Chains A and B, each alone.
Chain A
């Protein structure tokens, strides 16, 4: 099974982090996929992009504009957004950056929120992808680690492995 990841260019070393860590490919934000931050004014069109933002009206509106995937930055459950994603068969990309970069109570809270979101999304049968969205090499993780963190959040083995593999690849097909 091949594994994929999505990260910022700053995390990708010239030597090839993907080969070292065991990914088939790490997709670079800004190069291979456009990122639209719905929390920022003057953002581009969500169509064909990875949309990221806090759960709310802006992200919900972006979900209706045919993005490639949605990433809920604050891990909050927005039932309307999830329903829209389910109807349009959009992938929910759970970013692990807040889990990797946080510590102490902040990380515990992020794990709690992410696990609740994951559980709700699995119950609504959304396609789920797990990506590090790493901004530096330290925040990257190997496929083994992504799978175990996904299991820590409550994913079963199949969902965890698919989320680090074919679900990410499907975003880019």
Chain B
């Protein structure tokens, strides 16, 4: 059976997320994504918070088909678990390694692609 294609998105929160509240934050994020994407399309996106990079940045995995809508949904989320915050998508890629190797925090979309450390593909949307 073919595996669904995925996109990994580097997301930055305007609010720091303490390690102790990471689990709660993750569940709250999923609730907000359901609210934005709708119950019927949430399963197609199938979002999963893969890991935290630091106290503000984390990597979110979504299905490729819902990747554009997920980007927009993250822009519309302004509260998670009664805390006001903004979620900014910094970069996206087909692999986690390329995402972290690209130093997503300082790159701008459309900038010339840097050579990936291991030859892993970088999303053309960057």
Contact = CB atoms under 8 A, between A and B. Distances in A.
Interface of A: 1-3, 19-24, 99-101, 103, 107, 137-149, 151-152, 161, 165
A151 B73 CA distance: 13
B108 A145 contact: no
A144 B76 contact: no
A152 B67 CA distance: 12
A2 B84 contact: no
Contact of B109 (A20, A138, A144, A152): A144
Given A103-B78, A145-B89, 20 more contacts: A20-B90, A20-B106, A21-B12, A22-B90, A22-B91, A22-B109, A100-B78, A137-B86, A140-B86, A141-B75, A142-B90, A143-B108, A144-B90, A144-B91, A144-B125, A145-B72, A145-B74, A148-B71, A152-B69, A161-B110
B30 to A, nearest CB: 17
Given A20-B12, A138-B85, A3 B109 contact: yes
Contacts of B86: 137-141
Contacts of A144: 71, 89-92, 109, 125
Give chain A's interface secondary structure class: helix
A107 B77 CA distance: 12
B71 A145 contact: yes
B14 interface: yes
Contact of B76 (A22, A107, A140): A107
